[in-house]
Structure 1
Amino acid sequence: MAGGGKAAEPRDGWFTTQRLKLHYAEWGDPAAPPLLLVHGGRDHARSWDAIAAAFADRFRVIAPDLRGHGDSDWVSDGSYEMADLVADMAALFPALGVEQAAVVGHSLGGNISLRHAGLYPERVSRLIVIEGLGPSPARAAEIAAEPIVARMRDWIARQQRMSAAGQRSYDSIEAATARMMAANPRLAPDLARHLTTHGSRTGADGRVRFKFDPAVGAMSPVDLLQTEKHALWAAVACPVILAYGRESWASSPAEDGRATHFRDARVEMFDDAGHWLHHDRRDAFIAMMRAFIG
């Protein structure tokens, strides 16, 4: 893979939090400074292989599978709450003997990492968040203006639809890879194949299914207030990079004002990149990481 060569196969590990057994992949010397890589929604730990390859020579690189993703347990009721996801990350540090780490989080993983860093600022030495601030201020205002009855009914309807539909399956790895490339046309074919291979399993019926729980797409309609999110961002003590792709649908925090809620944050924009900018501009992203993390 570009930007650091081919990644060595990681060591697999598990830890238990809130009665769930969660998986993580680990590269490098266990005695080296920790670097934590947190994937986004419907993704998995092995999405970080190329990044891990670039840093495993001098870091203990740890990439967890979030609950409901990869090789981690699914929740029994299909309800995925941000508070529980943050609690999982809080449990990972003592479970793996990590006192402080540099952290990189993408999308949902970035959101989790930010909240964790606001709650436990002493644990995070450097933080890179790839499009992980959640809805733009304009979208957040629209959501807040929706009556709670409408929001709750919509969430319940989505939960019921997903339960009735079950998990989608595919004839082959090739068919599943094609589905992934349709969802993200920017992916190079070899990367799409890698993500599909490690992010799916073949059942006894010979059908291929992605590992993530379909219910992760219906997050709770009730979350922190915007003012509470801002308070957590302001509590983050370490330097922060907010990374965004210029061709992404996400709103830039440099333009919408969200960057001002941090003590020490700068926004890095990547040309020719969308929401998965660490895939779209991998070499440039790794270069930025090296300059920032060391």
Structure 2
Amino acid sequence: MTQTENNSFTLDVRGIPLAGDSWPAVGSDTTTPLVLLHGGGQTRHSWDRSAADLARQGHDVYTLDARGHGDSGWAPDGDYEIDGFANDLLGAIGELGLSAPVLIGASLGGITSLCVTGENPGAASALVLVDVVVDVEPQGIERIKNFMTAHTDGFDTLDDVADAIAAYNPERKRTRNLDGLRKNVRQREDGRWYWHWDPAFIVSGDEARRHTDPERLAAAARKVTVPTLIVRGGKSDVVSDAGIAGMLKLVPHAEVADVSAAGHMVAGDDNQVFATAIEEFLTRHHL
């Protein structure tokens, strides 16, 4: 692991550099470390506020950029199957020297965490799925895919980036801090701004099958025995009542927290309520 003074680090996991940030616990209490995993098309910085909040509650927190996202390396062979993400997570846990951390994953990060937890007993001490169920709503997934594939040719300005995000999520205030968008896009030599992820992640192969294989996810869910929390965005078009009911059949001991004001991007939409729900869950289970 290469560590820098600002708590950013790079792990070499199976030949792909994975970038991350560590957020040391504030205080001396010993708690279970937390690993936060972002959704498809996002970066680790989508967790910045939540990670800071959880560190202030006494947790060592780690956020990671998935392969092909943010500052992590792109898969040279275009491998963005579930196996690649899951094996990367297992490798990162080992490289960081963590013993059974709590895995907290949103969307793609939640799918990855579910597979690792269910398929590798002892890998995690608890699981938090953020707007993730096995049976997702196809229209919500299609809307995400349309958003991600609509701007692969980039943007002229950061204002255009902000407009695109506001159009996708009209209930969230349009950002005024255009500099903050630089964490999610990069300016190339042609002067245009591009999303900070490998286009091959979304445009190659059967995307829905690669990332949301319901048979595999259901099999993994049936094997989850650790404390589990499903945090649902009340306004999400990806997770429905039926999807939650199906998850509770697969993981009967799971708890559900409804962040009523949030959509699919729960932490960003209502970070305070989200962080409170996570902390209450961790406290209940002495983690």
Give the alignment's TM-score, normalised by structure 2. 0.81
Match of 1:262 in 2: 251
- C-alpha change, 1:121 and 1:218, in structure 2 (3 Å) is farther
Matched, 1:185 2:166: no
Distance 1:29 1:243 in 2: 23
Higher mean displacement: 59-68 or 217-226:
217-226
Letter in structure 2 aligned against 1:128: V
Structure 2 vs 1, CA of residues 29 and 258 (structure 1 numbering), >3 Å: closer, same or farther?
closer
Residues 1-40 of structure 1: pairs in structure 2 closer than 5 A: 11-29=7-25, 33-40=32-39
Q: How far 1:61 moved relative to its partner? A: 1.0
CA pair 195-220 structure 1, distance change in 2 beyond 3 A: farther
Inter-partner Cα distance in structure 1 for 2:101 and 2:179: 27
Return closer, same or farther for 1:37/1:174 CA change in 2, 3 Å cut-off. same
Q: Could you say which residue in structure 2 is the equivalent of 1:291?
A: 280
Runs (5+) with no aligned partner, structure 1: 1-8, 140-157
The aligned amino acid for 1:232 is A
Match of 2:220 among 226, 229, 232: 232
| Preserved CA contact (<8 Å) 1:39 1:105 | yes
Change (3 A) 1:225 1:290: closer
C-alpha offsets along residues 249-287 of structure 1, whole Å, 9 cap, x if unaligned?
A: 122356542221115202222212211122222211111
**253, 261, 267: which one pairs with 1:278?**
267
Shift of 1:200: 1.4
Give the 3 Å change call, closer, same or farther, for CA 265–70 of structure 1 in structure 2: same
| Structure 2 counterpart of 1:124 | 124
1-structure distance, mates of 2:127, 2:11: 23
CA distance in 2, matches of 1:13, 1:191: 29
Cα pair 1:33 1:59 within 8 Å, conserved: yes
Partner residue, 1:153: none
1:90 aligns with 2:75: no
Residues in 2 aligned to 1:255 and 1:61: alpha-carbon distance in whole angstroms: 27
- SS of the equivalent of 1:67 reads coil
Q: Which amino acid aligns with 1:36?
A: V
Give 1:40 deviation, angstroms. Answer: 0.2
Spell out, residue by residue over 1:39-95, the C-alpha distance to the aligned partner (whole angstroms, 9 max, x if none). 000000001111011012312211110011000111224341111111111111111
Q: CA deviation at 1:194?
A: 6.5
Q: What is the Cα-based RMSD across aligned positions, in Å?
A: 2.8
Aligned position for 1:71: 71
Contact 1:10–1:27, Cα closer than 8 Å, also in 2: no
Residue-pair matches, total: 262
| Uncovered stretches (5+) of structure 2, i.e. residues with no partner | 139-144
Give the TM-score of the pair, scaled to structure 1.
Answer: 0.79
- 1:106 matches 2:106: yes
**In the aligned structure 1, how far is the partner of 2:121 from the partner of 2:17?**
26
Which whole-Å deviations, capped at 9, do the CAs of 1:101-128 have from their partners, x for residues lacking one?
A: 1121101110100111112231322221
Alignment of 1:133 with 2:129, yes or no, is no
- How far has the Cα of 1:190 moved from its partner? 3.7
| Residue aligning to 1:5 | none
The question of whether the paired residues in 1 share the 8 Å contact of 2:134 and 2:217 is answered with no
Q: What is the CA distance between 1:220 and its match in structure 2?
A: 4.5
Distance 1:166 1:174 in 2: 14
The code of the aligned residue for 2:266 comes to: L
